[in-house]
Every structure is written in C-alpha cells, then in structure tokens.
Amino acid sequence: MPGAQGRYWESFRLKLILRIAIAVILLSTQANSQLQVNFHRGSCPGAEATVRNVVNAALGKSRGLGAGILRMHFHDCFVNGCDGSVLIDSTTGNPSEKEAGANKASLRGFEVIDNAKAQLEAKCPGMVSCADILAFAARDSVFFLGGPFWQIKSGRRDSNISRVADVGGNLPGPSSNFQQLTQNFLAKGLSQAEMITLSGAHTIGQSLCSFFINRLYNFNSTTPQDPSLDPQYATRLKVLCPQNNPNPNSVAPLDPLTPNSFDNSYFTNVVQGRALFTSDQALFTDAASMATVQSNSENGSPWREMFAQAMIKMSEIGVLTGHQGEIRKNCRVINS
Ligand code: HEM
Ligand SMILES: *[C@@H]1O[C@H](CO)[C@@H](O)[C@H](O)[C@H]1NC(C)=O
Ligand SMILES: *[C@@H]1O[C@H](CO)[C@@H](O)[C@H](O)[C@H]1NC(C)=O
C-alpha cells in the first residue's frame, strides 16, 4: 500500500521537522535568558511561598528588617552581580564583602535569609540559591511595606567568592553628586531614569549618623550647615545625631514622614530639602531629574510601576545561571 506508506513517511518527516524547529527555538531562547518565572516549579514547588512566609513573619515582628533586606539585595547585585556574595561570612584571611564600609555595622536582615534557606534546604536540598532567596525576599519586603508587587524570574546560582576588595567603586556613596550617581548606575546597565526611580527605595529604613553628619556641622570652612537642608529638618537631625556623639550606632530615619511605609514620600522629601543624604538631594540639582522628582512626589502611581520594572532589571545584573557557580547549602559559607 504505497499510498498509506507515503502518507506515513510524509507525516513522520513533518513531525521531525517540527520537533527540530521547536528544539532550535527552545535552545535559542535559553541562550538569551536562563532565568525563568517560577523556575523552581518542578524542583521545589512552593519555594517562593516559603520565602514569603518567612519574610512576612520576620517583618511582622520588626518592619525595619524589610529595609535591610532590600538594601542587601541592591548591594549584592552591584558587586559582581546578583550572586548572593554579600551573604558570605569572612573567614580567616578572607575578608568578605561584609567588611566593606558600606556593609559593615549596618547591613541587616541576614537571619531572615538564613531562616528561609534552612526551610528550603529541609524541603528540597540544593535547589534554591541564596541569590534567588534574596531577590524574592527583597520583592516580598517591598510588598509587605505597602509597595508594588512584581513577578520575578529565578534560576540564579550562587558565587563561591566574596572579597571586601571587590566592593570599592561599585556602590555609590552618600556624598555622590548627580553625575557620579548616573555613572555608577550606567556602569551596571541601569539608566539615569532607573537610578532616580530606584533611589525612591530611600522611602524606608534608617541610616547611621556617620553617613550624613557632615551636612549638619562644619559643612565647609564658610558654611556650618548644608544650605540645601531644610533648617527645621536639620534641627531634628541634630537631636538624633549630636556633634561629638559618643554613640556610633545612632541612626535617623531615611523618610521622617513614614519611615516604614513604601510610598512616594521620598520624592516629597527631596523637593522639601528633607532628604537625608547629599546623594538624595543631588536628584534636585539637575533640571530633568528635578522634574521627575517633582512629578513622582505629586503622583506615586507611575513611579510604583517604574520601581517594579527597575527592580526586575536590577535583580538580573550579572547573574550566574545553568552550570555556573553553585547552590550554597548555607548562605554564609561556600560549599566545600
Ligand atoms: C542612589 C545611590 C544610593 C546611595 C548613595 C545609597 C546610600 C545609602 C546609605 C549611606 C544608607 C545608610 C546605610 C546605613 O546606615 O545603614 C542607605 C540605606 C538604605 N538604602 Fe541606599 N543608597 C543608594 C541607592 C539605593 C538603592 C538603589 C536601594 C534599593 C533599591 C537602596 C535601599 C536602601 C535602603 C532600603 C536603606 C535603609 C537600610 C536599613 O534601614 O537598614 N539604596 N543607602
Ligand atoms: C570557585 O569556582 C570556580 C569555578 O567554578 C573554581 O575554579 C574555583 O576553584 C572555586 N573556588 C573555590 C574557593 O572553591
Ligand atoms: C561652602 O558651601 C556653600 C554651599 O554649598 C558654597 O556656596 C560655598 O562655595 C562653599 N565654600 C567652600 C569654601 O567650599
């Protein structure tokens, strides 16, 4: 029956061509982006919910930890990519990123990540990286505090290295000017607009006095106090941060209006001279940036959406995927 056989071979050939085409498409999309939404669906179902539950419980007791976790994610991504390197403890002779001036004494929330990791290792060992956990936890922290929610791709892998020397130059400093901030973010593949958007994270959390005290006393040889600071706000900051303060742990809220709510009041603070850092106030020294800050302060809705999009982009900086790196068993220690 040549007719039937011919049809059989024809359909076989079609199926084969179809399969090859599908395989080629799959391979090419994999090469473009190894991260996927719900990457852990098969290997560790409910992984994101586990992280969310741990974060919600921790923030329910101490809302401030949310700010710590968000900042930790930022510091992870800006130093050698979002690879969980910020979580690694120093060992003898190997000072880790934690020892850097920007991290030492003030990064917080490590126990929350440890707790999520312990639960996930118990459930599905070796499946969910510390870098993914931190990205989920930062997203969940923002949402818990009233900010936007966003879908986040996962499949990040962990680095096996963390060196204090790698931090320098990668993180912006609180005295940076507008040009320096812009350059710093551009170097990470983030635009000036995304820099302004992400600065809105300073709507939550706190800072050690040492990061802004130069604005309060002896600003320079002719001017005692930073004239861009609202004088009333400066007076309140001086109470929190007295001159010659014997307490090195004194802090001030980044957003004096609503310190634990993820809202757009950061931008209102910048407009009113009530932003804590020189780097925050710098957003009001450039005409285009000034207009963005002003409009974000008047209407927070577009900014919330932009913040979510910029966070997605930040969370994909320099990720390790596939067979790169490792899945750390303990976020503080590289696998042996
Ligand atoms: C634009 C340049 C930035 C500079 C110069 C900067 C600088 C700082 C400094 C000096 C502190 C105080 C640290 C302390 O004493 O604990 C801080 C806190 C904080 N930063 Fe930034 N930051 C920047 C951007 C960002 C970004 C992009 C995010 C997140 C997306 C972020 C999130 C936070 C949070 C949430 C806190 C409060 C931390 C806490 O309460 O523990 N910052 N930042
Ligand atoms: C880290 O991983 C790299 C590449 O995977 C490997 O060559 C290196 O030996 C590892 N370093 C440590 C300290 O395990
Ligand atoms: C001190 O700061 C003020 C305000 O920013 C500025 O106008 C002045 O030029 C500065 N003086 C010196 C000596 O740097």
Distance CA(156)–CA(73), nearest Å, equals 13
1, pLDDT greater than 50: no
4, pLDDT greater than 70: no
21, pLDDT greater than 70: no
Tokens 């303060």 identify what position? Answer: 245
- The band of 19, judged by pLDDT with boundaries at 50, 70 and 90, is low
Q: State whether the beta carbon of 180 lies less than 6 angstroms from ligand 1.
A: no
Output the CA 174–ligand 3 centroid distance in Å: 18
- One-letter amino acid at 89 equals D
Output the CA 334–ligand 2 centroid distance in Å: 10
Output the CA 307–ligand 1 centroid distance in Å: 15
DSSP states of 60-72: HH-THHHHHHHHH
18, pLDDT greater than 60: no
Secondary element (H or E) of residue 8 = helix 2-32
pLDDT tens per residue, range 267-324: 999 999 999 999 999 999 999 999 999 999 999 999 999 999 999 999 999 999 999 9
What pLDDT score was predicted for residue 27? 47
Average pLDDT over residues 44-62: 98
Ligand 3 pocket test: which of 177, 219, 222, 285 has the largest number of ligand atoms within 8 Å of its C-beta? 222
Whose C-alpha lies nearest to ligand 2, atom 14?
Answer: 160
Considering the chain, what is the average pLDDT of its residues?
A: 93
Closest ligand, as measured to the CA of 162 = 2
Whose C-alpha lies nearest to ligand 2, atom 1?
Answer: 160
Output the CA 335–ligand 2 centroid distance in Å: 10
What pLDDT score was predicted for residue 16? 55
Architecture of domain 36-171: Orthogonal Bundle (1.10)
Q: Give me the active site residues, please.
A: 75
Average pLDDT over residues 11-23: 56
CA dihedral over 153, 182, 31, 324, signed as positive or negative = negative
What pLDDT score was predicted for residue 8? 54
Tokens 């090469």 identify what position? Answer: 31
Average pLDDT over residues 52-73: 98
25, pLDDT greater than 80: no
Closest ligand, as measured to the CA of 171 = 1
DSSP states of 18-71: HHHHHHHHHHHHHHH---EETTTTTTSTTHHHHHHHHHHHHHHH-THHHHHHHH
Ligand 2 pocket test: which of 89, 158, 161, 326 has the largest number of ligand atoms within 8 Å of its C-beta? 161
Q: State whether the beta carbon of 225 lies less than 6 angstroms from ligand 2.
A: no
Ligand 1 pocket test: which of 71, 113, 247 has the largest number of ligand atoms within 8 Å of its C-beta? 71
Distance CA(114)–CA(164), nearest Å, equals 21
pLDDT tens per residue, range 138-189: 999 999 999 999 999 999 999 999 999 999 999 999 999 999 999 999 999 9
328, pLDDT greater than 60: yes
What pLDDT score was predicted for residue 28? 43
pLDDT tens per residue, range 204-253: 999 999 999 999 999 999 999 999 999 999 999 999 999 998 899 999 99
Q: State whether the beta carbon of 289 lies less than 6 angstroms from ligand 1.
A: no
Whose C-alpha lies nearest to ligand 3, atom 6?
Answer: 223
Output the CA 175–ligand 3 centroid distance in Å: 15
Nearest atom in ligand 2 to 324's CA: 5
33, pLDDT greater than 70: no
Q: State whether the beta carbon of 160 lies less than 6 angstroms from ligand 2.
A: yes
Nearest atom in ligand 2 to 335's CA: 14
What pLDDT score was predicted for residue 31? 37
- The band of 3, judged by pLDDT with boundaries at 50, 70 and 90, is low
326, pLDDT greater than 70: yes
98, pLDDT greater than 50: yes
CATH number for domain 178-313, candidates 3.30.43.10, 3.40.50.300, 3.90.105.10, 1.10.420.10: 1.10.420.10
Residue ranges of the domains in the chain? 36-171, 178-313
Output the CA 220–ligand 3 centroid distance in Å: 6
